[in-house]
Amino acid sequence: MRTNFLLSVFFLSNLTTSLFAQKTYLLRPDRVFDGQEVHENWTVLIKNEKIAAVGPASLLTADSQNAEIIDLKGCTLLPGFIEGHSHLFLHPYNETPWDDQVLKESRSYRTARATLHAKKTLMAGFTTVRDLGTEGAEYDDFGLKQAINQGVIPGPRMIIATKALIATGSYGPKGFSADITLPQGAEEADGQDLIKAVRSQIGKGADVIKIYADYRWGLNGETRPTFSVEEIKLIVETAKSSGRPVVAHASSAEGMKRAISGGVETIEHGDGGTPEIFKMMHEHGVALCPTLAAGDATSQYRGWKKGIDQEPEKIKNKRITFKNALDAGVTICAGGDVGVFSHGDNARELEMMAEYGMKPIDVLRSVTSVNAKIFHQDNLGQIKPGFLADLVVVEGKPEVNIKAIRNVKLVMKNGIIFKD
Ligand SMILES: [Zn+2]
């Protein structure tokens, strides 16, 4: 037993060294997508954690003599993908319903799963995630982020929301005896108490404050607004003092309207958006994170046989609203609500964005430079000197066929290769 233990420690420490050694690399793919455009025959020089130089192969030779050369024939190099909406502490609802994950799974169990989810995300080429709430797992996203940043486990950079905020009585788990108080999937707070709730979450590590501007708490279970505009303004003002943005889950037109008026930066889902609401989003510079893949997944969990049955109303509507958002010029944040479906399958959202009418090159912009800008990440999302060396190499031409993003050949984060 003891020998085995020592052997595994030895193996692990060796693995860690090779995973986390930084060096100088010269990457030679067929083409580079720099976050905006595709350039043929470009080469990328990486020094330690940063991109040192980018450009036509001939320009780089003098500067790159001691670099390890990696030839990537037939491949496209892109900025590491940025997932706009994940829940690393959730796993697909067809495996375990959301209620059961919140009420029956221990936090240690959920954390153990989350470490695996983080690894799968990174290996799929997603080097950053905006993780929008632990859904009942308290502040455990903070520890996960810390473990990743310290190199204890492989995973993406995390922009975290911790618990997220809900209006009292609006969220879940629901449908149990009124005599008992159950833990909720996010933190309940209202009125002036919201100030303290926002500040507590910031103190515990939140990079972003996430609110539920509406939820299925109508008389007949329909989606209705939760917080008042005044409450949302109070949340935004409190968060803004510390330099943090507020983002809102909102599916109804009224919920979206209140969130926009209240000053949030992104709207998650937006299923009930009308042309007027999208116009308003465009005017206020509020981005839409459409989470197309989540709706696609939950519809199938409820019995829809995709490709066989007719598309449910929900899906038909989603195609229309997404088109309306594009037509209104709303900035699209690429984010799938991954966790509702499998971690590592993040590409599903990008494929659906293309399927629902976005040009593949715009999808690639969205998941790299556009997401970086929306999330205030000034040194991510572009292949440019001085930017952090977060990149992904895929076989094929994703700007022509978006499905190529699944052919991941190499992932680099902070100048370290995680997949080779
Ligand atoms: Zn979500």
Question: Burial of 144 by CB count in 10 Å (0-12 exposed, 13-18 middle, 19+ buried)?
Answer: buried
β-partners of residue 224 are 215
Segment holding 68, helix H or strand E: strand 68-79
Distance 247 CA to ligand 1 centre (A): 11
Buried-state track 268-287, b at ≥16 Cβ within 10 A, e below 16: bbbbbbeeebbbbbbeeebb
What average pLDDT does the segment 396-403 reach?
98
Segment holding 322, helix H or strand E: helix 313-327
Q: Give the tokens for residue 352.
A: 């659906």
Query: Please, what is the average pLDDT of the chain?
Result: 94
Distance 142 CA to ligand 1 centre (A): 17
Q: Tokens 């996010």 belong to which residue?
A: 186
Cα 60 vs. chain centroid, distance in angstroms? Answer: 34
Distance 393 CA to ligand 1 centre (A): 28
Q: Give the tokens for residue 138.
A: 């308290």
290 prior amide bond cis, ω within 30: no
Q: How confident is the model at residue 419 (pLDDT cuts 50, 70, 90)?
A: confident
Distance 340 CA to ligand 1 centre (A): 8
According to CATH, the superfamily of the domain at 81-374 is Metal-dependent hydrolases (3.20.20.140)
Distance 361 CA to ligand 1 centre (A): 25
Q: How confident is the model at residue 62 (pLDDT cuts 50, 70, 90)?
A: low
Distance 238 CA to ligand 1 centre (A): 23
Are 18-80+382-419 and 81-374 in the same CATH fold? no
Query: 60-74, 298-312, 367-381: which has the minimum mean pLDDT?
Result: 60-74
Tell me the CATH architecture of domain 18-80+382-419: Roll (2.30)
Distance 391 CA to ligand 1 centre (A): 25
Q: Is 46 helix (H, G, I), strand (E, B) or coil?
A: strand
d(CA 359, CA 399) in angstroms, rounded, equals 8
pLDDT at 22: 66
Q: How confident is the model at residue 58 (pLDDT cuts 50, 70, 90)?
A: confident
Q: Which residues contact 277 (CB under 8 A, 6 or more apart)?
A: 253, 256, 257, 260, 270
Distance 403 CA to ligand 1 centre (A): 24
pLDDT at 217: 98
Q: Which residues contact 223 (CB under 8 A, 6 or more apart)?
A: 214, 215, 216, 251, 252, 255, 272
Residue-wise pLDDT for 114-127, tens only, equals 999 999 999 999 99
Eight-class DSSP state of 132: -
Q: Are 334 and 350 a contacting pair, CB within 8 Å?
A: yes
Residues belonging to the chain? 420
Q: Give the tokens for residue 224.
A: 């209705």
Query: Percent of the chain scored above 70 by pLDDT?
Result: 94
* 57, amino acid identity: A
Distance 87 CA to ligand 1 centre (A): 6
Q: How confident is the model at residue 332 (pLDDT cuts 50, 70, 90)?
A: very high
| Cα 225 to Cα 171, 251, 307, 325, distances in angstroms | 12, 9, 34, 21
Q: Give the tokens for residue 150.
A: 């310290």
- Given a cut of 60, whether residue 321 has pLDDT beyond it is yes
Distance 342 CA to ligand 1 centre (A): 13
Distance 11 CA to ligand 1 centre (A): 37
List the chain domain ranges: 18-80+382-419, 81-374
pLDDT at 8: 37
Distance 132 CA to ligand 1 centre (A): 6
Distance 295 CA to ligand 1 centre (A): 11
| Cα 89 to Cα 20, 25, 57, 290, 326, distances in angstroms | 25, 34, 43, 20, 31
Distance 75 CA to ligand 1 centre (A): 33
d(CA 27, CA 46) in angstroms, rounded, equals 8
Residue-wise pLDDT for 43-52, tens only, equals 999 999 999 9
Distance 257 CA to ligand 1 centre (A): 19
Distance 19 CA to ligand 1 centre (A): 31
Q: Give the tokens for residue 172.
A: 């879940």
Residue-wise pLDDT for 151-170, tens only, equals 999 999 999 999 999 999 99
Segment holding 76, helix H or strand E: strand 68-79
pLDDT at 16: 42
Distance 357 CA to ligand 1 centre (A): 23
d(CA 292, CA 318) in angstroms, rounded, equals 8
